[in-house]
Structure 1
Amino acid sequence: MVRGEVGTAGGAEGERLRRSGAFLVDEAMAFLQSAALRAAAEVKVADHLAGGPLAPAQLAVATGVDERGLYRVLRLLATRGIVEEDTRGAFTLTDAGQALRGDVPGSVRTAVLMITDRSMWQPAGELARCLTGQLPVFDSMFGMPFFDYFAQDERTAAVFHVGMAAMTDPENAVIAGAYDFPDTGTVVDVGGGHGGLLLEVLRQNPSLDGVLYDQAHVLAGHRLAGAEEIAGRWALADGDFFTHVPDGDVIMMKRITHDWDDDRCVTLLTHCRRALRPGGRVLVLDAVVPPGNAPHQSKTIDLMMMASLGGRERTAGDFAALFEAAGLKLARVLPTDTVLSVVEAVAAGE
């Protein structure tokens, strides 16, 4: 054997290593599945397949792309069950692929484009730098922190805020219904974006008022004004949640704490504690990382948080420690029928 080469083991051990190698090579190439999904989303393949099967040549004309390249993308997506090729070579959109359409309720097309945007993709490719303490790598690659990058102009901001809304809107009604909100009082949605969650909470709890709290450029795209059933029960407040949080009986944050490191989370939660009215509750609506080896979306997104934002997903124990440092106490963790849980905190001593 030449020095530097790896020998080939024989027998059962050799077969075990061969299978391991084949598995790991397939795992390493899995990013191309995301690339194919993004390509299909960009040219709106799913929208053109909504009416039924189409041959690659027909799809290429409809989308304005190269037929052979499009076929190769679709062929890979067919292995993932997103489209299906028939014996004539035409492709059909499967049930699993329906939400890639842009014209259906619950569409995640813009969410796919956000998740696979270069702002997420490129830092993930440098994940090893995070292991040496260079957190987050996004800042050095893009020349500014994550949220500064997405606030720099309307088009860039839309990638994130519209994509996040598409990703999380389907969760809102489920989460709003999973928690027993008080009969009266004010709910403050901290970092609430365009107001999708607050809208559902107010719809399901007609005696509550709400405050949507975020930065001014985000609030400009809010959706509360068009909902007649909550008219007169909501208000907007703009500001920085690291310096102030409006007073409320329920202060909730959805997919916010995972964006930030522990120190910043304690600062935010301390402001929530100060803003909490007597008997009130702080609700952190985030994934709770489960123990064990089973797959869970939180374990995947955790690496995105590490590379792009410097934040992380947390266990129930992690949340308890953050609450304690902020003058709060973990009351309970309520799983929902989404990947998120309702992590409830009360003022320490209550």
Structure 2
Amino acid sequence: MSNPEAVLARMREYMVGPTRFMNLHACFDLGIIEALRKEAGLTAAELGVAVGVKPDAVEQLLYLLVKEGFVARDEAIGGYTLDALAEVAETDLQRVLTFMGMIKTGMLRQLYYLADSVSTGSVVGLKELYGFDGTMFEAAAEVAEVRAAWGPLAQNETASVYPWFFRSFDVPAGARVLDVLGGTGLGAVMTCQLKGSPGLRVTTFDRPALEAECLRNFEARGVAEDCSFVGGDVLESLPEGYDVVLLKHFVDMYDKDEVLTILRNAHRALEPGGRIVVLAAVYPEDITDTDDYQADFFPAYILGCVMGRGGLQKVSTYRSWLEECGFDVTEVSAKDPADIPADAIINRVVMCATKRS
């Protein structure tokens, strides 16, 4: 910014951010947008009847949407019609609404305690709101509201990311694969389905409490003979003797020292010449890139809502950490921009590296 006035004007954008978000979300939540999708030209009074809200309140909420061009108003009759929103495909709109729903339920209240979470290194919002002492991933297993907010988004992300992820690297025939923090076994199942070969064996490594569900999933998906589960703590050690180690989604949930520990544990887990594959969201090399929204979202999300520690890094940072831990980076893959929707916040890469002799 070149002058104080410009700085103040920029800060104003932050001041109105939460109100803009909730105004738009409320128009969907109340059914106003759905009513206009069914019938164009409804007045505030007619919309009020349709959604059970006072007409004056409907009109107040729609001022912003008219300003943004999402909705149009016929000044002559006072009727409202979907404008730009009418052009958005239903599947795209539902994806955005799923993400917005997670932000509303899984973030806004927790972020009230962001500074406290940063100070303590824990997700204070989960303690204050739900009496839960732990991470969002752990809370999702026990707190219905957290699970309802995060679960649909996780399913959408898995459906979008995993097919691309598994196309981004090779698994040698008959390899032994370790899926680190593989949860209830989806990654192991997909490894068998998409990278299968005679003798391929896949091990899911995660908290011991997940073993029973993971083994049930292996049985249900018909891969029980090819998959196994090992319980443990990723920051303590990993089982050894593997040809490929998969680190999917979670490295940004740890601070630098912890990531280095995980990478060193992965190095010990691999046979000579073995390969590590890391899937991670990353910051752009130029953090001032105004077309990238990672820094707008993830620091507050991870520190205030998910872990209380950790955060995204640049590819160059991950490369240096991998090299420090005994790996040679062989490939970095990113999604084709044409395959990334315009509303996307997350920018992921797949980094492949080989254990240095």
Q: TM-score, normalised by structure 2?
A: 0.70
- Once residues 211 and 34 of structure 2 are traced to their aligned partners in structure 1, the CA distance between those partners, rounded to angstroms, is 28
CA distance in 2, matches of 1:44, 1:200: 38
Aligned ranges 1:36-75 → 2 under 5 Å: 36-39=23-26, 42=29, 53=40, 55=42, 68-69=56-57, 72-73=60-61, 75=63
Cα separation, 2, equivalents of 1:80 and 1:225: 51
Selected match of 2:304 from 303, 307, 311: 307
Mapped pair 1:179 → 2:169: yes
Greater Cα shift, 241-250 or 57-66: 57-66
Shift in Å, 1:347: 1.9
Alpha-carbon contact 2:179-2:202 (below 8 Å) kept: yes
Question: Secondary structure at 2:80's aligned position in 1?
Answer: coil
| Structure 1 residue corresponding to 2:22, chosen from 28, 32, 35 | 35
Residue 260 of structure 1 corresponds to which residue in structure 2?
A: 254
* Deviation readout 1:103-160 (Å, 9 max, x if unpaired): xxxx354433223335x33454555668xx7253633772633244444434433433
Please point out which of 237, 246, 249 is paired with 2:243: 249
The 2-side partners of 1:226 and 1:46 are apart by 41
Q: Residue by residue, what CA displacement relative to the aligned partner does 1:186-230 show, whole Å, maximum 9, x if unpaired?
A: 4433233465655555443343554444444598499777767x7
Tell me the distance in 2 between the aligned counterparts of 1:226 and 1:54: 51
Percent identity for Structure 1 against Structure 2: 21
Q: How far apart are the structure 1 equivalents of 2:271 and 2:164?
A: 26
Q: Which shows bigger deviation, 54-63 or 309-318?
A: 54-63
Conserved 8 A contact 2:122-2:134? no
Tell me what 2:82 maps to: 91
Equivalent residue number for residue 134 of structure 2: 145
Give unpaired runs (5+ residues) of structure 2.
Answer: 341-346
Q: 8 Å contact 2:105–2:146 — kept in the other structure?
A: no
Q: Helix, strand or coil for the counterpart of 1:266?
A: helix
| TM-score in terms of structure 1 length | 0.71
Aligned-partner SS, 1:242 = coil
CA distance in 1, matches of 2:46, 2:239: 55
Higher relative contact order (CA 8 A, sep 6+): 2
Cα 1:25–1:155 change in 2 (3 A) is closer
Give the whole-Å Cα distance in 2 for the aligned partners of 1:265 and 1:227: 32
Task: Please report how far the alpha carbon of residue 335 of structure 1 lies from its aligned counterpart in structure 2 after TM superposition.
Answer: 2.2
Q: How does 1:286-325 map to 2 (within 5 A)?
A: 286-292=280-286, 293-295=288-290, 296-300=292-296, 301-308=298-305, 309=307, 310-324=309-323
Partner of 1:281: 275
Shift of 1:254: 2.3
Specify whether residues 169 and 135 from structure 1 end up closer, same or farther in structure 2 by C-alpha distance, changes over 3 A only: farther
Q: Does 1:344 align with 2:352?
A: yes
Q: Is the 8 A contact 1:214 1:240 kept in 2?
A: yes
1:62, distance to aligned residue in structure 2 (A): 6.4
1:76 lines up with 2:67 in the alignment? no
- Partners of 2:237 and 2:49 lie apart in 1 by 53
Structure 2 distance, partners of 1:54, 1:277, is: 67
Superposition pairs for residues 185-264 of structure 1, below 5 Å?
A: 185-193=175-183, 201-207=191-197, 209-215=201-207, 216=209, 220=213, 233-235=226-228, 238-246=231-239, 248-264=242-258
- Count of residue pairs the alignment pairs up: 326
From 103, 117, 121, the equivalent of 1:136 is 121
Q: Point out the structure with the larger helix share.
A: 2
Q: Secondary structure at the match of 2:172?
A: coil
Instruction: Call closer, same or farther: CA 1:140–1:345 in 2, change over 3 Å.
Output: same
Residue 266 of structure 2: aligned partner: 272
- The worse-fitting range, judged by mean Cα deviation, of 261-270 and 120-129 is 120-129
Counterpart AA for 2:161: E
Distance 1:217 1:60 in 2: 48
1:114 aligns with 2:109: no
